[in-house]
Amino acid sequence: MSTVAVSPSNSISMLAERYAAVRAQSTALARPLSPEDACVQSMDDASPAKWHLAHTSWFFETFVLAQSNTNYTPFDPNYRVLFNSYYNAVGAQYSRPHRGLLTRPSLSDIHAYRSHIDTQMSRVIEGDIDPELAAIIEVGLHHEQQHQELLLMDIKHLLSCNPVAPAYIAHVERPVLATSELSFCDYPGGIIRVGADGTDFSFDNERPCHDALLHEYSLATRPITNKEYLAFISDGGYHNSLLWLADGWATVKKHDWEAPMYWRNTDDQWFEFSLTGEHPLVPNAPVVHISYYEADAYARWANARLPTETEWEFAANDTATHGNFVEHEYLHPQANGSTDLSHPTQLFGDVWEWTMSPYIPYPGFQTPAGAIGEYNGKFMSGQMVLRGGCCVTPHEHIRATYRNFFYPANRWQFGGIRLAR
């Protein structure tokens, strides 16, 4: 399939192993959830955990099982509509803002569905697998990893609506590391290569690899911390229209924003709601759950700007993708204690870093044929690119060329700030 760069590592045994591992991780993430937790939808943008578990299975059923076997009998014909997210080419979809109304099928029905799909999929994977099919399975696994992150974002939002402030998992106290002073690294301009070259797996939106012109720039050595963001708040940042984009200012006024999404002020002390419950704000940790508008206003206040996605990628190209990912089970950004100011740190993990680049196609971008062509291309309007993954992203899901995207007003993803000049 032309839309997917097939990695040479897709040997069948590795695929089977990866399939099992990724699928098991979804199940593991759902384990702390009650049937109620897994069913409810707390806002239009979010989906129930149960729906994520079902939809990722629907993806394999629709794009692999039904494609590879013309006699395939669906597990339940209703699921074709219920768990189709947005693929118009596949057919009708159950209304997105109503996903939380589906109390039936139950959570255990969905676990049975997953088992059924896994059994069927193992037959396909162990068979004489077509490389094009293997490539779609690979997409399906990366797709499931995206939904693992969404599941955690959405559960965090749901639990945050409960005045009892329940924790997704128990809190573990950890030593708080120091944070270095903010400094900047300089980069020269020139023509560079941008995007995925097809050596490893990539999504269609990372391709084609192409030349881009970079102007000289500097990039901050680490993300902005809560303490630094508090200085912006204390300086009246949320009340000074001159710091904001016009759309941003309208959004601040409409929602009465006064602080990042999950911050709460009680008796003049700041707390932050996290997947481990509500805790006092950690000054050294990266600020998180802010919108593009807030990141942009902060940067203006700090006499800086956000980087372009090309600037970010160039800096990240020669950096290892180590960082605070979902595997660490912190599920919250952390100060990293680094004192090395010679190059940017924490580019990967902790917080998705807003760039000033709107999410548009790369020169020469082609949407793949068929329903899979709806995967990315149709969202290339009105959203901004974020880079680097965060503390709820699977580590192996991320890479320097990876393009995430959200609307500038979105805050429920783990978005943070890295400055540029």
Which of 292, 325 has the CB closer to its own copies?
292
DSSP-assigned letters across all residues of 359-415: --PPTT--PPSSGGGGSSGGG-SS-EEEES--TTS-GGG--TT--EEE-TT--SS-E
Number of amino acids touching its own copies (CB under 8 A): 63
Q: How many helices (H) and strands (E) does the chain have?
A: 11, 11
Rounded distance, CA 228 to CA 232, Å? 7
Of the candidates 57, 78, 203, the one whose C-alpha atom is nearest the C-alpha of residue 121 is 57
**DSSP summary character for residue 416:** E
Which of 100, 344 has the CB closer to its own copies?
100
**Backbone Cα Rg of the chain:** 22
Binding mask 382-411 for its own copies (x = CB under 8 A): x-------------------------x---
Binding mask 142-171 for its own copies (x = CB under 8 A): ----------------xx-xxxx-x-----
**Cβ atoms 29, 148 nearer than 8 A:** yes
Q: How far is the CB of 367 from its own copies (least distance, A)?
A: 9
| Amino acid at the residue 161 | C
Q: Which stretch binds its own copies (CB under 8 A): 35-43, 279-287, 338-346, 391-399?
A: 35-43
Q: Does the footprint of its own copies cover residue 315 (CB under 8 A)?
A: no
Q: Does the footprint of its own copies cover residue 209 (CB under 8 A)?
A: no
The β-bridge relationship of strands 415-416 and 352-358 is parallel
Q: Does the footprint of its own copies cover residue 193 (CB under 8 A)?
A: no
Say what angle helices 49-60 and 12-30 make with each other, to 10 degrees.
Answer: 160
Which of 131, 364 has the CB closer to its own copies?
364
Q: How far is the CB of 212 from its own copies (least distance, A)?
A: 6
Cis, peptide link before residue 48, omega less than 30° from 0: no
Which of 273, 348 has the CB closer to its own copies?
273
Site residues (CB under 8 A) for its own copies?
34-40, 42, 78, 81-82, 86, 88-89, 94, 98, 100-107, 158-159, 161-164, 166, 191, 210-213, 215, 241-242, 244-249, 292-293, 296, 356-358, 360-361, 363-364, 373-374, 378-382, 408
